[in-house]
Amino acid sequence: MTHVGIDLHKMESQICVIVETGEVLAETRVTTRRDTIELALAAWPGAQVLLEACGESEWVARHLEQRGYQVVVADPNYTPMYGHRHRAYKTDRRDARALASASVQGLFRRAHRTSEARRQVRAELVTRDALVRTRTRYISVIRARLRGEGYRLRSGDASTFVTRVEELALEPELRTQLQPLLRVMTLVNDEIEAADRRLVRTAKTDPIVQRLQSAPQVGPITALAFVAALDDVRRFRNAHQVESYLGLVPRERSSGEHQLRGRIAKTGDKRVRWLLVETAWRLMMRRSKTSVVPLQAWTTKISTRRGRTIAAVALARRLAGILYAMWRDDRDFDQQRIGRPRKLAEVA
Q: Which of 84, 105, 126 is the last residue of a domain?
A: 105
Give me the number of domains the chain comprises: 3
Among 105, 138, 173, the domain-final residue is: 105
54 and 179 in a common domain: no
Q: Report the CATH number at residue 74.
A: 3.30.420.40
pLDDT tens track for 221-233? 999 999 999 999 9
What domain range includes position 157? 116-205
Residues 239 and 317 in one domain: yes
Give 72-99 pLDDT, tens digit per residue: 999 998 888 876 655 667 889 999 999 9
Same domain assignment for residues 51 and 80: yes
Q: Examine the domain organization and report whether 199 and 220 are in the same domain.
A: no
Residue 268, pLDDT score: 84
In this structure, the answer to whether residues 95 and 152 fall within a common structural domain is no
* Closest by CA position to 223, among listed 261, 215, 262: 215
Q: What is the DSSP letter of 258?
A: B
> Quick check: is 111 in a domain?
no
Asked if 191 and 70 sit in the same domain, the reply is no
User: Domain check: are 295 and 215 in the same one?
Assistant: yes
Query: Which CB contacts under 8 angstroms, 24+ apart, belong to 208-214?
Result: 208/327, 211/326, 211/327, 211/330, 211/331, 211/332, 212/323, 212/326, 212/327, 214/326, 214/332, 214/333
**Do 296 and 270 reside in the same domain of the chain?**
yes
Helices (H), 41-115: 57-66, 92-105
Check residue 289 and give its pLDDT: 52
Dihedral angle sign, alpha carbons of residues 326, 330, 333, 334:
negative
Instruction: Give the pLDDT of residue 340.
Output: 62
What is the rounded distance in angstroms from the CA atom of residue 46 to the CA atom of residue 152?
Answer: 66
Q: Does residue 110 lie in a domain region? A: no
- In a shared domain, residues 179 and 243: no
DSSP, res 290? T
Q: Which of 327, 328, 348, 130 is nearest to 218 (CA)?
A: 327
Give, for all 348 residues of the chain, the pLDDT tens digit: 899 999 999 999 999 999 999 899 999 999 999 999 999 999 999 999 999 999 999 999 999 999 999 999 999 988 888 766 556 678 899 999 999 999 999 999 999 999 999 999 999 999 999 999 999 999 999 999 999 999 999 999 999 999 999 999 999 999 999 999 999 999 999 999 999 999 999 999 999 999 999 999 999 999 999 999 999 999 999 999 999 999 998 877 666 666 666 788 888 889 999 999 999 999 888 765 555 667 888 888 898 999 999 999 999 999 999 999 999 999 999 877 776 665 544 444
Q: To 5 degrees, how large is the angle CA 271–CA 276–CA 278?
A: 95
The verdict on 180 and 276 lying in the same domain is no
- Together in a domain, 16 and 93: yes
